[in-house]
Amino acid sequence: MTPEEVAKFIDQKQIKIVDLKFNDLPGLWQHFSMPVAELTEMDDLTTSIWEQGVGFDGSSIRGFQKIQESDMILIPDPDSARLDPMLQVPTISILCDIYDPLTKDPYSRDPRYIAKKAEQYLTSTGVADTSYWGPEAEFFVFDDVRFEQTENRAFYSVDSVEGEWNSARDEGPNLGYKPRFKEGYFPVPPHDSLQDIRSEMILTMADVGIPVEVHHHEVATAGQCEIDMKFDTLLTMADRMMWYRYIVKNISRKHGKVATFMPKPLFGDNGSGMHTHQSLWKDGTNVFFDPQGYALISKMAKHYAGGLLKHAKSLMAFCAPTTNSYKRLVPGYEAPVNLVYSARNRSAAVRIPVYTDSPKSKRLEFRPPDNTANPYLAFPAMLMAGLDGIENEIDPGEPLDKNTYELDPDEQARLQTVPGSLEEALQALEDDHEFLLKGGVFTKDVLEVWTEFKTEQINALRLRPHPYEFYLYFDV
């Protein structure tokens, strides 16, 4: 939409509130709201908002400014305007880009700006003019969550009416149908108690222009779900990922439940990932397709896979950016820890889906990422790794068409794996980040602030006794 079309939309829908949304560096939506008159009352005021923006305190946003340089401005993107489907008061939500009020330049740490630069860099290479992205976002819907961390006390508790551990609970009455561990994929209701809630989620997504291909219960007990959006371009899909999370969380809350995208909230069952499908196109043609290639992929696609695998360890700093991420990335829970590529094989870090031989469907699926990733950073990072693979013709080696968890010890020892911790991922980023700086897509200040912010999280966890340590060591 143009600003003029936004004004007409506001009038047609009798909008009362304008909500301006933007991302902090870790990937959480931030917002503030204003009466609609502030956007529409006077032409000169409208111009000032669309062109000069609205001020905010950048020092109060994670990963942004220091207090002595706190003033920043948001410039609304009219094309992103949507009727907010979750609010009772008629509200239009508009995504914003962040600018420096003195230089008038885009802000280097604005995640949305990084995504835009990645798309521009792709075009500049001549390799392709479009990249398509299809993240498979998994999440849990729980009925209760409690946690606490103080000087003398630490615990968490999550619960779900679906949890296998509740098979003997007095529920007045307990009606059974608790999916067993690793058996939630995917029986019909009543085992799947969240069918209608997920259906409401995808219909709400449609209201904000997000086409959904499928939704279903996932492998884990206790309400693990997946909703798959139809693929789209990088920036568009990153925007949609933010709407996706917003809608999933708010629909869950509406039903007295709570959704989490935390990678590993349950011990002993599958975690939640964000398997990310990606492909490159030029002049309307999928350059990843070759009818003579392995699994119908082109040499360019193999080199792209080579880039993903070569840089996978440092990519994890953006694609699996929390300490909890590495409780998911362990063998045995469909976790793709081995840095190999293969057709069909879900134990490989790079998988080539082979559901169909259509040229339009040929793509690579990078499986290690999870939903704690900021999509505006993770998608560009993966794209830059893949393009580096194409530029340098990185050979990913031979595909591994066997279960990587069942290799003999010698074969297993030869495989590279993703980092075992966030600390290892950040060290890998320190050692391997030049590919991210090409075209100015990522800047050194972004990498430095990201590393500093994530190191603080590592240290915060390192300093605190873990509840399981009491089980192991209290009686020493």
Decide if 129 contacts 123 (C-beta within 8 A): yes
Query: pLDDT tens across 261-273, in order?
Result: 999 999 999 999 9
Least confident of 39-43, 67-71, 121-125: 39-43
Integer Cα distance of 23 and 245 in angstroms: 13
Q: Would you say residue 161 has pLDDT above 50? A: yes
Phi, psi of 351 (to 5 degrees): -110, 145
Q: Would you say residue 199 has pLDDT above 80? A: yes
For tokens 């885009």, the residue is 106
Q: Would you say residue 40 has pLDDT above 70? A: no
Least confident of 49-63, 161-175, 238-252: 49-63
The dotted CATH code for 124-473 is: 3.30.590.10
Burial of 472 (0-12, 13-18, 19+ CB in 10 A): exposed
Q: What is the CA radius of gyration of the chain?
A: 23
Q: What is the reported pLDDT for 333?
A: 66
Least confident of 43-47, 53-57, 91-95, 389-393: 43-47
Residue 174 CB neighbour total at 10 angstroms: 13
Integer Cα distance of 99 and 111 in angstroms: 12
Nearest to 272 by CA among 423, 136, 179, 379: 136
Decide if 118 contacts 384 (C-beta within 8 A): yes
CATH 3.10.20.70 domain range(s) in the chain: 3-106
158: three-class secondary structure by DSSP: strand
Decide if 306 contacts 395 (C-beta within 8 A): yes
Residue 282 CB neighbour total at 10 angstroms: 15
Nearest to 228 by CA among 94, 136, 109: 136
Nearest to 237 by CA among 276, 287, 283: 276
- Please confirm whether the linkage preceding 291 is cis (ω < 30° from 0): no
Q: Would you say residue 254 has pLDDT above 50? A: yes
Decide yes or no: CATH 3.30.300.160 for domain 3-106: no
Max Cα-Cα span within the chain: 74
Q: Which residues lie closer than 8 Å to 151 by C-beta, 6 or more apart?
A: none
Query: pLDDT tens across 14-28, in order?
Result: 999 999 999 999 999
Where residue 475 falls (left for φ over 0; alpha for ψ -120 to 50; beta otherwise) is alpha
Across the range 243-272, mean pLDDT stands at: 97
Query: Which pLDDT band, with edges at 50, 70 and 90, does 42 fall under?
Result: very low
Integer Cα distance of 425 and 231 in angstroms: 28
Integer Cα distance of 266 and 140 in angstroms: 10
Question: Helix (H) and strand (E) counts for the chain?
Answer: 15, 18
Across the range 110-137, mean pLDDT stands at: 98
Query: Which pLDDT band, with edges at 50, 70 and 90, does 346 fall under?
Result: confident
Least confident of 278-282, 329-333, 350-354: 329-333
Phi, psi of 85 (to 5 degrees): -80, -5
Query: Which pLDDT band, with edges at 50, 70 and 90, does 45 fall under?
Result: very low
Across the range 88-107, mean pLDDT stands at: 93
Residues with a known catalytic role: 57, 136, 138, 218, 226, 275, 346, 365, 367
Integer Cα distance of 182 and 218 in angstroms: 9
How many CA within 13 A on the CB side of residue 265? 29
For tokens 């980040």, the residue is 433
Instruction: Classify strands 130-142 and 232-233 as parallel, antiparallel or unpaired.
Output: antiparallel
Query: pLDDT tens across 48-95, in order?
Result: 788 888 988 888 888 887 756 678 899 999 999 999 999 999 999 999
Integer Cα distance of 436 and 447 in angstroms: 9
Decide if 375 contacts 385 (C-beta within 8 A): no
Q: Would you say residue 43 has pLDDT above 50? A: no
Q: Rounded mean pLDDT of the chain?
A: 93
Query: pLDDT tens across 401-446, in order?
Result: 877 777 778 877 788 999 999 999 999 999 999 999 999 999 999 9
Instruction: Classify strands 71-76 and 54-57 as parallel, antiparallel or unpaired.
Output: antiparallel
Phi, psi of 68 (to 5 degrees): -80, -5
Burial of 148 (0-12, 13-18, 19+ CB in 10 A): exposed
Query: pLDDT tens across 368-382, in order?
Result: 999 999 999 999 999
32: three-class secondary structure by DSSP: strand
Integer Cα distance of 13 and 114 in angstroms: 33
Q: pTM for the complete prediction?
A: 0.95
Q: Would you say residue 459 has pLDDT above 70? A: yes
Q: What is the DSSP string of 204-261?
A: HHHHTT--EEEEEE-SSTTTEEEEEEPPEEHHHHHHHHHHHHHHHHHHHHHTT-EEE-
Decide if 418 contacts 328 (C-beta within 8 A): no
CATH 3.30.590.10 domain range(s) in the chain: 124-473
Strand (E) or helix (H) holding 138:
strand 130-142
